[in-house]
Structure 1
C-alpha cells in the first residue's frame, strides 16, 4: 500500500470509528485529564507498510472538534501536513500493530487498572482464574487461567516500546503499564472495545476479590 493510495473514505471511516468509541469511553470517565489514546488501522494490513489514525495529543476527549485525529505511518510520523501532534505514546501503538496485525488499539487510564498493576507489579502479571469474562478473549476452557502482562511505565516512551515484543502473549490482547493504564487491541474497533471492556471488568473483579480475601 502506498500512502498516496489511502482513500478519503478510508480516512473518514477511521475517524468516524474513533469518534464513536471516544464518546462511549469518555462517558465512562476513562479519559481523565486528557489521558488515554485510541487508534484504528487505515487502508490495509501490510505489516511492512501501514498507516493508522490516532487521537491527537492533549485533547479533551469528552468533546469533539475537527482536529481530534491525525494519520501516521508505521513509525508514528504524520503522513499529512498537520499542526497536530500524535499521542506521546504512538510508538507503543506502532509496535503493537507491527507485532500483532491488529486493526485497532485502545488505551485508557482507570483506577482499577492502575491499582492492579501496582498490586501485582512484582509478579509481573495480573492473574485471573475462572472468571466468565475471560471468554471475551476467545478462551473457552473451563476455569481458564490467564496472566495479563505488566510493563514498567518509563518516562522515555521508546524504552517501553522496546519491551512490547517480549510482553505480548498470543492469547492475551492487552498489556498493562504500571500505574498508568491498559492497551487493548483487536482485529477491528468492535473487537478492541470488547477486549477493553473485558479487561476493565476483570481488573475490578481481581482487585475486589483480593480485598475480600484479606
Structure 2
C-alpha cells in the first residue's frame, strides 16, 4: 500500500495516539532535553514497504505543536513535502519494524535504564529474574528469568541499526542502547506502552536491589 492510499482517519488516529503517549511520558520526565522518540506504524506491512509516524527532531516534548510528528517510509525518508526532520534515530525504528512487524515503538532516556545498561553493557544483556513486572512483557513463567539485550551506543546511527538484527531477541520486546535508553515495542501503542513501563520498573528494581546489597 502506498502512503497516499492509507486512510486519513488512520493517519490522524496515529498522530492522536502519539500525542497522548508523548504527554504522559513527558509528565514522568522521560524526555529530558529533547531526548527520546516515539513512532506508530500505519497502513499495511511488508518487510520491503511500510510507513510510520515518528517524532520530529529537536522538539520539546513537554509541549504540543503542529510540528511534533511526520510520516516516513521504511528507509526513514519523509513521505510528504516538509521542512521537518525525523528523529535522528528513525533508522533504528525502521529496522525494528522490519524485523518484528510491530505496530509501535517507544524510546526514552531515564536514569535507571542508563545506569543499568552501563553496568551490564560489557555482558551484552541485562539479566532479570523473579520480578513481578516481567509478566508485563507477556512472560508468565513462575520465577521467570530474562535477559534484555544491550547494544553499544555509537554517534553514527547506521552503525547501531546494523547491530539490531543480531541482538534482537524475539521473546523480549525491547532493546537497550548502552548508557543511552531503551526501545520498547508492541503490536499497538497500548502494548508498547505496557512493555516500556514494565522495562522501566525492572530497571529500577534491579538498581535498588543492587544498592541495598552494598
The CA RMSD measured in Å over matched residues stands at 0.7
Alignment partners' CA distance in 1, 2:11 and 2:177: 29
User: What is aligned with 2:55?
Assistant: 55
**Aligned residue in 2 for 1:154:** 154
1:142-172: CA deviation from partner (whole Å, max 9, x where unpaired): 1000000111000000000000001110110
Partner of 2:129: 129
CA apart distance, 1:47: 2.5
Which segments of 5 or more consecutive residues in structure 2 lack a partner in the other structure?
none
Q: Deviations over 1:21-40 (max 9, x none)?
A: 00000000000001000000
* Match in the other structure for 1:211: 211
**Structure 1: 4+ residue segments shifted above 3 A:** none
**Equivalent in the alignment of 1:174:** 174
Tell me the CA shift for residue 209 of structure 1: 0.8
**TM-score where L is the length of structure 1:** 0.98
SS of equivalent to 1:85: coil
Aligned partners of 2:76, 2:136: CA distance in 1, in Å? 29
Separation (CA, whole Å) in 1 of partners of 2:158 and 2:25: 27
**1:181-205 deviation digits (Å, cap 9, x = unpaired):** 0000000000000000000000000
For 1:11 and 1:184, locate their aligned partners in 2 and report how far apart those are by CA, in whole Å: 21
What SS does the aligned partner of 1:143 have? coil
Aligned to 1:5: 5
Unaligned runs of 5+ in 1: none
CA positional deviation for 1:75: 0.4
